[in-house]
Structure 1
Amino acid sequence: MEERIIKVLGENAKYDSCGFIRKKESFLPFIYPSVGEKGRICNLFKILLTNKCKSNCLYCVNRRDRDYPRYSLSPHQIAETFYQFWKKGYVEGLFLSSAIDEDANETQEKMIKTAEILRKKYGYKGYIHLKILPGADEYLIKKAFLFATRISINMEAPSTRHLSKISKDKDFSKNLLKRLKYISKINKEIPLPAGITTQFIVGAAGEKDKEIIGFSYYLYKNLGLKRIYYSGFIPVINTPLENLPACNQKREVRLYQADILIRKYGFKSSEIPYDENGNLVLEKDPKLLWAEKNPSFFPLEINKADFEELLRVPGIGFKSAKKIIEIRKENKIN
């Protein structure tokens, strides 16, 4: 029975993004290949503490009114199971999230307890990503910093207006943004090894890409987020949004490309090119489109351009820009 519960709660965890690429279904749905900053793939043990939820978000597989089997695991069960898989080399880290069963603080406490057991009982020193739940008290958020490698809370949408279209139970400012700001504050005092992150559901609330990227830019610049994940909406049967079309995967790709520009390449959100509807152009990379819309920036003198200028050239990334600068120290590039 416990094995079945682990599989169900692992399968339910797939809607929380952590940089993973989902390959074909396996007999171990709780093991997710996650892609790191440098392209390295590592397997994460990704699971929910419970899929019992008091909230009724319109898009969610775990929404309160959905007729679906409900299960929970104890902190000791998750810690022990993860540790066994880690010892055997099947996984390299833990990603722990949860639905909110009656009380956010009680559920959050159990999640933190899981991490504490791993650190203290098993002596585990590896990667633990803890999700902060909407409504969790500040003292629990601070406690999570004692055991986590990375902490996140899902913003889900770029504004109050958009969140209200997909969830009547969550308050954008009080439940989500306020807590993300507090997480950011604590992270400045006690920096997490892998930083703080958030996630947006893309395509469920009628949001524009310009709104998503604009808010992402604010989060990167003002709250110091390490990463932001863009999870394309996937309709779930027996939910109010089951007939809404799934998000175009190419839209998700373009959002990540625009994200890199504002996160790593020095672009302002106002510089990202959009179509007349405020969305990214699906047919073209946003960096290439920016170059086409800014002909005065070119041609670029390759022997004089600084690092940031080189990064704006289509086809040149961090490695290429660094190599160009290194080569021209010795010889002029023709």
Structure 2
Amino acid sequence: MAYLLKKPTSEEKLQILGKTARFDVCGIPGLFARKSKKLQRFKFIYPAVGKGGCVRLFKVLQTNCCEGNCFYCANRKDRNFVRISFSPDELARLFIQYHRRGLVDGLFLSSAIHGSAIRSQEETFKTLYLVRKKYGYKGYIHYKVLPGSEDSLIEKCASLADRLSINLEAPSPHHLSKLSPTKDFSEQLLAGVEKIFALNRKNPLKAGITTQLVVGAAGESDKEIVTFSHFLYRNYNLWRVYYSGFVPIKDTPLENTPACHPLREVRLYQADFLIRKYGFSPEELPFQKNGNLPREKDPKLAWALSHPEKFPLEINKADYWELLRVPGIGRISARKIIMKRREGKITSLEELKATGCVVKRARNFITLNGKFFPSSENGKDLDQQLFLLEEI
């Protein structure tokens, strides 16, 4: 059952369709996301990590009217809630108003499937076209492709967007069957990724292509998720895989399924970063017997503690990739260490700290000119070193 608001205002629509859009992930894990006080009242403005810092995305659905009946989804057909839609002109105009007020830096446009994927994709394309052509907006747009859309329509969307994405939702057909009664993993979802991959290869998008996986609703392990993500990076050149921790929604078949622990989402992002940027393979990651990553420590630290034969590492001799495996040393500090060594050996923890290395994490794993600096302090705060402000 569903019901409609009588002549809702554009702002009323925005509050509803912006709130629902939170389930499409495009930025910082929820545990680290913080809004400024100025933006806290705007439920449709979301922080995302971009070059130079945090950017503010106007994230909204064109409509929440959906033909799908996914077991976890707030917009499922059999759920009782307010159904509402924007016209393309209405949504385009609303976004431009917020952009001109300096409240948002970019647009994230998605939609439920109303009538058919083709019909819904046409509506969002019209919005996209108006934003670009009528209002002359030159900034960032992340555009969500719907499963089942026509190739020609997707290509037109790609010509106007900076990033395309399509949600795969699960790491296998088996897990997808626990989330949706109708979606086809290979013929519909993975085929959609192949389509946008082909478009991106033909005419590279500024911000590439991405996908999203739901975490914690279908009994999947972290190992299954990370292994699948690695497959996607290797075969489809994805810019990012986003991990959306499952949140139970009232009046859905999965309403009594426990929510995904926020730290699980964080550990997946950290493991993902180790694979994409730090030279790790999925097989090297410290999965537990149940296939999940440990929550009590970040995966890089867990790997280091389980490989005492690799440490302590001599800072003045290690290469770039060896340095990256030291807890407390990231990509920026590793480069600075190598640059500083050209001027002479690093002889003190103060010199090492000046490179950006987090010494309290690194000191138990390194030597400087053969000297060891062990400490009983392990740095118990949440490790955010893998969330560098460099990409959306």
Q: Which band: TM-score by shorter chain?
A: over 0.9
Pairing 1:106–2:114 present: no
**Separation (CA, whole Å) in 1 of partners of 2:50 and 2:255:** 32
Residue in structure 2 matched with residue 243 of structure 1 by the alignment: 256
Residue in structure 1 matched with residue 280 of structure 2 by the alignment: 267
Out of 34, 38, 46, the residue aligned to residue 48 of structure 2 is 34
Residue in structure 2 matched with residue 297 of structure 1 by the alignment: 310
Out of 9, 13, 24, the residue aligned to residue 17 of structure 2 is 9
Larger radius of gyration: 2
Pairing 1:283–2:296 present: yes
Q: TM-score, normalised by structure 2?
A: 0.83
Residue in structure 2 matched with residue 138 of structure 1 by the alignment: 151
**Separation (CA, whole Å) in 1 of partners of 2:210 and 2:51:** 13
SS of 1:166 mapped into structure 2: coil
**Separation (CA, whole Å) in 1 of partners of 2:337 and 2:106:** 37
Q: Deviations over 1:207-234 (max 9, x none)?
A: 0000000011111122111111111100
Shift of 1:22: 6.0
SS of 1:165 mapped into structure 2: coil
SS of 1:330 mapped into structure 2: coil
**Separation (CA, whole Å) in 1 of partners of 2:321 and 2:234:** 17
Shift of 1:104: 0.1
Q: Deviations over 1:255-310 (max 9, x none)?
A: 11101100111111111111100000111111011112222222323222211111
Matched residues, number: 333
Residue in structure 2 matched with residue 55 of structure 1 by the alignment: 68
Identity %: 57
**Separation (CA, whole Å) in 2 of partners of 1:51 and 1:281:** 37
Residue in structure 1 matched with residue 84 of structure 2 by the alignment: 71
More helix by share: 1
| Residue identity in the other structure for 2:163 | R
Residue 8 to residue 22, structure 1, CA distance change in 2 (3 Å): farther
CA contact (8 A) 1:53 1:99 kept: yes
For structure 1, the residue ranges without an aligned partner over 5 or more in a row are: none
| Residue identity in the other structure for 2:329 | I
Shift of 1:26: 4.1
Shift of 1:179: 1.0
RMSD of the alignment, in Å?
Answer: 1.4
Out of 307, 315, 319, the residue aligned to residue 306 of structure 1 is 319
Moved over 6 A (4+): none
Residue in structure 2 matched with residue 318 of structure 1 by the alignment: 331
Out of 83, 86, 95, the residue aligned to residue 96 of structure 2 is 83
Out of 217, 229, 234, the residue aligned to residue 230 of structure 2 is 217
Shift of 1:37: 5.6
SS of 2:241 mapped into structure 1: strand
Q: TM-score, normalised by structure 1?
A: 0.96
| Residue identity in the other structure for 1:117 | L
Shift of 1:113: 1.5
